[in-house]
Amino acid sequence: MRRDHGAQAGAEDVQIIRCPEQMRLDFHTLDVFTTVRFGGSPLAVVHGADGLDDRQMQAIAREFNLSETVFVTSPKNPAHSAGVRIFTPMAELKFAGHPTVGTAVLLADLKAGTIDAEQDSIVTLEQQIGLVRVGVRLKPGEPGFAEFDAPKPPQDAGALPPVEKLAAGLGLIANEIGFENHRARCFAAGQAFAMVPVSTREAIAKARVSPPHWEAAFDEQGIVGVYLYTRQCIHNKSAFHARMFAPALGVPEDPATGSAAICLAGAMHHFDDFPDGTHKRVVEQGYEMGRPSQIVVSNVVRGGELETVRIGGHAVRVSEGRLSI
């Protein structure tokens, strides 16, 4: 911007104020844990984010206003695929499932280009929680599929407040909480979720965040989100129907939550007492939001212990563009 001093210009140097050069970053959006666009959980992936600071990343995540936005950076170890940082509209997460699946599928797809045969690859992502290896399968004309081992196994993190308190926070009645031997408990796999079994799909459909009871039931416990699940499903191939609320993170409801599904695996092992072997279950989520999602959860049990939890799902590209920062 030039400042004109009129008649005094000869006596005083003209000052030039230079605006900083704009940064332009490519981005993609995907729908994750679905094979069709406009289903599943939407995700934004911003490439070449090395020059962004925390404040800028958080502002961009608020702008996208999706459950999560991923920022791809150069890996610290050149043998790895990428560095990854994950933000909700309000906070950074050390790890999240659907960003891991979506980012891995996207990076593998971009690297592969046009393919004429099935192709498998490993994408290694440096996340805040540590290194996450993701197996990706690409098929011509089909959405990619990614699967990863949970970076931390789910741990029983203790009991939750009395069922009457939980029900009030969810707009339900006490006898709608729990089924069979499943009771509400907290499980953590890097992040802690309240795992709340609900008796019927009718009850889970009417659940909602009910302030101020919500704060007393959940926020005071240091919980990231509340995951409701029931055995009554829409599809015969599904084992559980689920919903997830995380208002403290700026996510009123999430269409698909891979990190919470890891904790569900902990609840499955705790209450269903799986024998040794691999037990694969499909979890359906997002139907109440009009964004149907399917998450594949595999429990690997050895010696009576839950050794590994594997999370898998598809991802489909929706849009691409460029950000000006």
Instruction: Please list the active-site residues.
Output: 68
Phi, psi of 169 (to 5 degrees): -65, -20
Q: What Å distances lie between residue 279 and 45, 197, 274, 301, 311, CA to CA? A: 32, 20, 8, 8, 12
One-letter amino acid for residue 131 of the chain? L
Instruction: Pick the closest to residue 197 from 225, 219, 166 (CA basis).
Output: 166
Residue with tokens 């079994």: 197
- Cα 309 to Cα 132: distance, rounded to the nearest angstrom: 13
Would you give the DSSP letter of residue 2? B
Contacts of 171 (CB under 8 A, 6+ apart): 206, 207, 208, 209, 210
